Amino acid sequence: MRLKRLLLPAILLLVSVFVKAQKSNEFTVLQWNVWQEGTMVPGGYDAIVNEIVRLQPDFVTFSEVRNYHNTRFNERIVASLKEKGLDYYSFYTYDTGLLSKHPITDSLTVFPENGDHGSIYRLTSSVNGHKVAVYTSHLDYLDCAYYNVRGYDGSSWKEIPIPTTVEEVLKVNVASQRDDAIKMFVAQAQKDIANGYSVIIGGDFNEPSHLDWIEANKNLYDHNGLVIPWTVTTLLEQNGFVDTYRHIYPNPLTHPGFTYPADNPLKEPGKLTWAPKADERDRIDFIFYKGKNLEAKKAIVFGPKGSIVRNKRVQETSKDNFLLPLDVWPTDHKGLLVTFKIK
């Protein structure tokens, strides 16, 4: 009996060490469009800070960083987290932002914001000796062709006749600068990979996935019978990048993973939709990756279960897993939290 008593603490200690060792081979990335820095919702900025304190992701890829009133959003967030006892690193960006729990070894503007056509930035760092290049993206919101499919012009959001062919839709889609930005990302990412980095990109792409607009759901969500090989995700797949959410949940019927438009109880539905007569739900916030020794292990939709459909609040009934907000939800998007395992 005494031997058992002596062995039990030792066994528990070994289990504890093992669990910690397992966790040391994992890290998390949060993609989050924070809707104009949280300014659109009362208490939005504090909610952003509080959620990061709760989740403590290793990296955060922000969309809609505006640096209002001559402030620097990334610096404010870092300072606010410091007051809460957390150390994060960042650098100056506009339109998108990056946070890292790990020291940043390099930073780069890959696709500079110009005329509100989106942006991409990159940092490099190391997680337990594993070199990572993390990119944040907020792609061009104009010529947003998935709205054209739903009877709304993707630049003016005025009602229009619904296009009847995929060619019509893709012609509008490639008029945007989204594909230009992603091509610049791919070119830089290839250099990072050649230098031994695993590459991760998070962002609000303002464009759906070709893996979500398939034959099986062509008559759902106002796809209006179209199966569309959306440009940005197709380019990423062709260049070897993996869509984390579809890697873990390959079936868009059971796990649509919608990230927009999210319901927000502090805003009227009309303030949360661009297409009030349509079902505009789509998965437009992503985390992709490429790396020999890296695998996406878990993915969860971060935010409320509610969405906006035809200007009304609805609760999602899919099999998607949700990480619900603590309190105030600061945005009109849902985020994506992904756990990576270093193999």
Q: Which domains does the chain have, with CATH numbers?
A: 27-342 (3.60.10.10)
Q: What is the pLDDT of residue 20?
A: 39
Stretch 283-307: mean pLDDT? 97
Stretch 188-192: mean pLDDT? 98
Residue 301 to residue 235: CA distance in whole angstroms: 24
Query: What's the burial of 292, exposed, middle or buried (CB within 10 Å: 0-12/13-18/19+)?
Result: exposed
Stretch 96-114: mean pLDDT? 98
Stretch 108-124: mean pLDDT? 97
Rounded to the nearest integer, the mean pLDDT of the chain is 94
Q: What is the pLDDT of residue 51?
A: 98
The three-state DSSP-derived secondary structure of the chain is CHHHHHHHHHHHHHHHHHHHHHHHCEEEEEEEECCHHHCCCCCHHHHHHHHHHHHCCCEEEEEEECCHHHCCHHHHHHHHHHHCCCCCECCCCCEEEEEECCCCCEEEEEECCCCCCEEEEEEEEEECCEEEEEEEEEECCCCCHHHHCCCECCCCCCECCCCCCHHHHHHHHCCCCHHHHHHHHHHHHHHHHHCCCEEEEEEECCCCCCCCCCHHHCCCCCCCCCCCCCHHHHHHHHCCCEEHHHHHCCCCCCCCCCCECECCCCCCHHHCCCCCCCCCCECCEEEEEECCCEEEEEEEEECCCEEEECCEEEECCCCCCEECCCCCCCCCCCEEEEEEEEC
Share of residues in the chain with pLDDT > 70 (%): 93
Q: What is the pTM of this model?
A: 0.93
Stretch 73-85: mean pLDDT? 98
Whole-angstrom Cα Rg for the chain:
21
Give the confidence band of 193 by pLDDT, cuts at 50, 70, 90. very high
Which of 21-30, 219-228, 285-294 is least confident? 21-30
Q: Is the pLDDT of residue 17 over 90?
A: no
Q: What is the pLDDT of residue 22?
A: 38
Give the confidence band of 3 by pLDDT, cuts at 50, 70, 90. very low
